[in-house]
A and B are shown apart, each in its own frame.
Chain A
Amino acid sequence: MVDTATISQMAHLGAGIAIGFGAVGAGLGIGFATKGLMDAVSRQPEVAGKAFGFFLLGAALSEACALYAFVIAFMLLGK
């Protein structure tokens, strides 16, 4: 039998691990998106405005993955 204090501590540990790994993926995603934007703008400076719109969209989509991890972490914090 595991007492509730240990479960709570383990849940807090799990929350930290969850948001950490989620942030790794989202950071990689936004980094690749920025790389793509820089490549596109340095090759064709005239598409900068259009490319920035797509960049924001892609960055928001990959940032959402970190936020899924955030939701899980927040649910674990409540345990």
Chain B
Amino acid sequence: MEHWIYIFNIAGHAISLNLDTIFTMWFAMAAVIIFALIATRHLDLIPGKLQAVSESVMKFFYGTLDTMIEHENRQHVPLVASLFLFIVTANLMGQLPLRIINLKHGGELASPTNDINLTAAMAIIVLIYYVFMGIRAKGAKFFLHEFSFTGIVMALVEILEMITRPLSLAIRLFANIFAGEILVSIALGGLAYFLPLPIMLFEILVAFIQATVFMMLTIAYIGSATGNEH
């Protein structure tokens, strides 16, 4: 729960880095990148085992995008797929026994998504992406609606949503993983080695569900930003 915090100064402003989160994040990113490199190395018309698996994973993204965004949906695949794969890898890392490695300065090698800074960064990336896509699709109409009472209220509500959407995205993912870790540690205090096992199995399910929820909400936000209202 406590992080290995490193503080340095840039022009009088103290900037703190959670080094354990950064380390585990790079570990997850490296796992995803190495998997992608290996999976795309010997592509063939008749797919092997690994290629069949990765093609079915990509087909899952294409199918989800096709059902939720009507046209020009293939351009969002890089963001959506890398978000999903990274979040799944990061969440599953929390179940690895990396915590037995004792860090000297405090902190632990757990799932990187148990740090709200990481999930908030991903949520802000999603916010910037969907605002950019909305402006590219609709221009200034993305912010302004028709000039009537409902139009003005809609515009104000949508500006409010720019704050609440990334906030809820970030806190949802962070709180699920964090609550899972607290639950496991409480169960470990209750009946060591046996009671945490079903909870850890449930956490594996939660890892996939939360990654799916993050991806679905990202697609829904992009779809509502780029699509027509009528």
A interface residues, Cβ below 8 angstroms from B: 56-57, 60-61, 63-64, 67-68, 70-71, 74
Chain B residues near A56: list those with CB within 8 A.
Answer: 209, 212
Chain B nearest CB: distance from A24 CB in Å? 17
Instruction: State how many residues of chain B have any CB contact under 8 Å with chain A.
Output: 15
Whether A60 and B168, one on each chain, are in contact in the complex, defined by CB atoms closer than 8 angstroms, is no
Chain A residues near B133: list those with CB within 8 A.
Answer: none
B96-104, B142-150, B170-178 - interface stretch: B170-178
Whether B216 and A57, one on each chain, are in contact in the complex, defined by CB atoms closer than 8 angstroms, is yes
Whether B179 and A70, one on each chain, are in contact in the complex, defined by CB atoms closer than 8 angstroms, is yes
Interface centre among B175, B209, B212, by most A CB within 10 Å?
Answer: B175
CB-CB contacts below 8 Å: B128-182 with A: 168, 171-172, 174-176, 178-179, 182
Whether B212 and A57, one on each chain, are in contact in the complex, defined by CB atoms closer than 8 angstroms, is yes
Chain B nearest CB: distance from A60 CB in Å? 5
Task: Assess whether B213 is interfacial by the CB under 8 Å rule.
Answer: yes
Known: A57-B209, A57-B212, A57-B213. A64 touches B168 (CB 8 A): yes
Whether B179 and A67, one on each chain, are in contact in the complex, defined by CB atoms closer than 8 angstroms, is yes
CA–CA, A71 and B116, complex, Å: 11
CA–CA, A68 and B175, complex, Å: 7
Known: A67-B172, A68-B171, A71-B171. A60 touches B179 (CB 8 A): no
Chain A residues near B182: list those with CB within 8 A.
Answer: 74
Q: Give the number of residue pairs across the A-B interface with Cβ within 8 Å.
A: 36
Q: What are 10 A-B residue pairs whose CB atoms fall within 8 Å in the complex?
A: A57-B212, A57-B216, A60-B209, A60-B210, A64-B176, A67-B172, A68-B175, A71-B174, A71-B178, A74-B178
Closest residue of chain A to B1 (Cβ to Cβ) is A74
Chain A residues near B174: list those with CB within 8 A.
Answer: 71
CA–CA, A57 and B217, complex, Å: 10
Chain A residues near B168: list those with CB within 8 A.
Answer: 64
CB-CB contacts below 8 Å: B199-230 with A: 206, 209-210, 212-213, 216
Chain B nearest CB: distance from A33 CB in Å? 13
Chain A residues near B213: list those with CB within 8 A.
Answer: 57, 60-61, 64
Whether B209 and A67, one on each chain, are in contact in the complex, defined by CB atoms closer than 8 angstroms, is no
